[in-house]
Structure 1
Amino acid sequence: MLRTSLFALLLLVCQVALGQTAVPYGNNPAAGKYATVRGVKLYYEAYGAGPPLLLLHGNGGSSKEFAKTIPYFAKHYRVLAMDSRAHGKSVDRADSLSFEMLADDCAALLTQLRLDSAYVLGWSDGGITALVLALRHPQKVKRLAATGANLWPDSTALTPELWQQMKRGYQEGRTQTFTDAGRKNDWKVFLLDWRHPHIPLSALANVKAPAFIIAGDRDVIRPEHTVAIYQNLPRAWLWILPNSGHATLHEHANEFNEKVDTFFKARTILPPSR
């Protein structure tokens, strides 16, 4: 036991010396801050310097999902990795959630930080929020990248497997009375994806910011739904990653980061082919 402890201590000392200690993204006191906006205490972490980049996580997740994203972009951007209300360290005691609420939170946070606009990268629910943010607060979004996003919650947008799983979850939970605060919050977060979003394809014509629409070829979002999102945006890129599921930014982290960065820096964004 003593030898094992000494070995662990020696390994830690070597990692520190080589600058290899793991950063606790999503729970990093050195980078974490709270901002009270719209009556909600939002947690976010800030890294790097340069043009602001807002990172938005998926349902039930937190900013720790961007552990493979933040180190790359923090070299050239001021990265803001936010925990959405009712997620991670962000506190929300309201009874319901909507993507409009989440998008308005993002806009309010940027305003409080005195940022006129930001690049936005969203995964899953974060991708939906990025699109809603661009619709409701167009002046706040320079460009957006959304991976694994859907516009409505049914089997025409989601794979049959995911939709059946969600239906079972709803049937199991709808008759329960949640007295525990944590389980009550989890149910509220589940209902966000069960009931929302409801964005008509025609509304995407109002997105002024250039958009990069991304999904895996084995994503839980139907590929034809992802393509339809791309086709209805005025200025957009499309990327369907081969050999990838829903977690594109994890499964292909290096390529993902480079492609998104290239999009953010591209001089022109051609409209999609009709």
Structure 2
Amino acid sequence: MPSTTVNGVSLYYEVEGDGPPLLLIAGLGSSSLAWAAAVPRLREGYTVITVDNRGTGRSEVPPGPYAVDDLADDTAALVDHLGLGPVAAVGWSLGGSVLQSMVIRHARVLSKAVLLNAFPSYTAIQDGWLDAGLALRRAGVDPVAIGMHSMPWAFTPRLLSDHTVAAAQAELARKDPYPTTLAGFEAQAAGLRRYDSRPDLPSAHTPTLVLAGAEDVLTPVSQSVEIAKLMPNATLQVLPRGGHGMLLEYLDDTLAAITAYLGNGAP
């Protein structure tokens, strides 16, 4: 099982496939398993790099809080360790914040970026959503119930109205072999809610696709519009279907948009 120590933290990672290097950065409290549905498709045309951010999966859980810039420093150091840069990268949700920090502070390791369901800074609604999730975790609520509570923020009525499918999706939380600890989740959350990329995005020149789903209620399209307006080399694309979990609910459409922008790779 490959791991390396960067910035004093042991990180677990995997490298699969053949082709141009593509780094995938997961969201809040998620390990690299968040990309499980996408990796088999992407590795047909890319050398896919997945990583458990500090605090998740098989990576170390040092004392928090973790600033978004810390996570970005970790990820840039991993790219340097692997010797695969510059890489294309996709950052999903919190991963999109990490990738914004990277295009601002570590552009040398990047060739292109895709910000998937990203946001420049937290709103009062996002703070409230996070407070509720933290309260449930601190109370020791069953992870499947926590997943069900979060699902309306991630998925569209198309999925939620089929209770059999929705229940199966929520049950995946119980099957996670490397669940994120409360300490890891809290440490990531503390840094995320304080991050604000807006002052520095005008200096970020990495070619970037800002990709959103029109039905995203957790990170609404307006936040993607704000990011795209601030970045000199950004392209905004809004898919007509899909919410915050569009990579899971609309896998084909989401991957088609990503790979069309990146080029030189998977179907």
User: So what's the TM-score if we normalise by structure 2?
Assistant: 0.77
1:142 equivalenced with 2:140 (yes/no): no
Query: Offset at 1:96?
Result: 1.5
Instruction: Pick the structure with more helix per residue.
Output: 2
Q: How does 1:1-274 map to 2 (within 5 A)?
A: 32-155=1-124, 160=125, 162-168=126-132, 182-193=181-192, 195-200=193-198, 202-219=199-216, 220-265=218-263
**Distance in 1 between residues matched to 2:2 and 2:195, nearest whole Å:** 29
In structure 1, what residue type is equivalent to 2:72? A
The structure with the largest alpha-carbon Rg is 1
Q: Which one has more relative contact order, counting CA pairs under 8 Å at least 6 apart?
A: 2
Superposed CA deviations along residues 104-163 of structure 1, whole A, max 9, x for unmatched, are 0111111111223100011101111111111111111100001111111223xxxx3x44
Q: Distance in 1 between matches of 2:123 and 2:187?
A: 18
Q: Paired residues, what number?
A: 224
Indicate how the Cα distance of structure 1 residues 80 and 172 shifts in structure 2: closer, same or farther if over 3 A, else same.
Answer: closer
Post-superposition offset of 1:263: 0.5
Q: Which amino acid aligns with 1:218?
A: E
Q: Deviation of residue 169 (structure 1)?
A: 5.1
Distance 1:169 1:73, change over 3 A: closer
**Conservation of the 8 A alpha-carbon contact between 2:55 and 2:183:** no
Whole-Å separation in 1 of the counterparts to 2:215 and 2:259:
23
> Runs in 1 of length 4+ with deviation above 3 angstroms?
167-174
**AA of the residue aligned to 1:231:** K
- Asked if 2 retains the 8 angstrom alpha-carbon contact of 1:241 and 1:248, the reply is no
Gaps of 5+ in 1: 1-31, 175-180, 267-274
Mapped partners of 1:187, 1:221: distance in 2 = 20
TM-score in terms of structure 1 length: 0.75
* Counterpart residue type for residue 117 of structure 2: G
Q: Between the two proteins, what is the percent identity of the paired residues? A: 28
Task: List alignment gaps of at least 5 residues for structure 2.
Answer: 139-179
Work out whether residues 148 and 215 of structure 1, in 8 Å CA contact, stay in contact via their aligned partners in 2: yes
